[in-house]
């Protein structure tokens, strides 16, 4: 494991902050001042400002019910509210596992472990959403939900600053259309990937605008009755299932 990864996995420092510490000569591997290309072996001892960094053997995860009008970010240059402003300060250095955009709400997981955050973000765990869409679901949309969709040279539904114009969206794992009224359609969808604004871009391709988007589950963790703006720690059974997931995927912790 590279030295900056080791630091970010086992401290509250980000990789960028780790790189700065290395640049300043404040990191040592055993008795040697660390270089950017150095890797940490099992038997190595790592120090920051002469204080030894021990490998984490425990981790914590919380479920947060993100509200509409909050950013999943530590700060915003436009002064918009972030989830960290609403959470207690003890979570200020915790990492979000994936994101929901400013207009979306629902389940967000946060953890004090960069390794856990990375493993879950890259996983194919199911994500479940409830949507309200302006317009109607026709045969073409159903076929795309069932067979997947290839978007090329198109930014409908994307963030205005996004540079991504093409996206391959896998078939939905599940979908359920509850019905339409007043020009709107409500449905439930389950997917197992988390590309940026994936659902907004999927429906945007068919000129359907998502009015409401709420994530209610991520893997084995469900939002349940957790109120908007509140958080909770994972329960014992949820931690056990998470550890099973890590073991099955050969992720050592």
Is residue 100 within 8 Å of residue 66, measured between CB atoms?
Answer: yes
Distance of CA 251 to the CA centre of its chain: 18
State the CB neighbour count (10 A cutoff) for residue 135: 17
Nearest Cα to 220, choosing from 239, 199, 206? 239
Residue 207 among the catalytic residues? no
Helices (H) and strands (E) in the chain, counts: 7, 15
Is residue 202 within 8 Å of residue 189, measured between CB atoms?
Answer: no
State the CB neighbour count (10 A cutoff) for residue 240: 12
Tokens of 224: 């349940």
Nearest Cα to 200, choosing from 109, 122, 135, 133? 133
Q: Looking at residue 146, what DSSP letter applies?
A: H
Find where tokens 């605008």 sit.
209
Burial class, 27, CB count within 10 angstroms (exposed 0-12 / middle 13-18 / buried 19+) = buried
Which residue in 101, 112, 138, 224 is the catalytic one? 101
Find where tokens 């765990």 sit.
125
12-to-7, 58, 115 alpha-carbon distances in Å: 8, 14, 12
Active site residues: 101
């Amino acid at each position: 494991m590279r030295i900056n990864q080791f630091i970010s996995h086992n401290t509250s420092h980000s990789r960028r902050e780790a790189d700065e510490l290395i640049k300043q000569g404040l990191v040592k591997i055993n008795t040697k001042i660390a270089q950017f290309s150095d890797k940490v072996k099992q038997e190595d001892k790592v120090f920051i400002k002469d204080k030894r960094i021990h490998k984490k053997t425990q981790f914590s995860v919380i479920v947060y019910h993100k509200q509409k009008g909050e950013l999943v970010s530590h700060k915003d240059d436009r002064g918009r509210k972030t989830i960290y402003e609403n959470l207690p300060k003890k979570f200020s250095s915790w990492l979000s596992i994936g994101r929901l955009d400013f207009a979306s709400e629902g389940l967000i997981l946060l953890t004090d472990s960069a390794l856990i955050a990375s493993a879950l973000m890259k996983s194919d765990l199911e994500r479940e959403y409830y949507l309200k869409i302006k317009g109607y679901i026709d045969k073409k949309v159903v076929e795309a939900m069932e067979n997947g969709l290839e978007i090329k040279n198109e930014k409908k539904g994307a963030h205005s600053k996004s540079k991504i114009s093409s996206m391959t969206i896998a078939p939905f794992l599940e979908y359920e259309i509850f019905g339409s009224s007043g020009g709107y359609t409500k449905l439930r969808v389950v997917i197992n990937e988390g590309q940026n604004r994936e659902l907004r871009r999927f429906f945007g391709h068919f000129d359907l605008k998502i009015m409401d988007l709420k994530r209610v589950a991520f893997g084995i963790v469900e939002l349940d009755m957790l109120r908007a703006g509140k958080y909770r720690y994972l329960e014992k059974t949820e931690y056990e299932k998470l550890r099973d997931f890590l073991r099955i995927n050969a992720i050592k912790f």
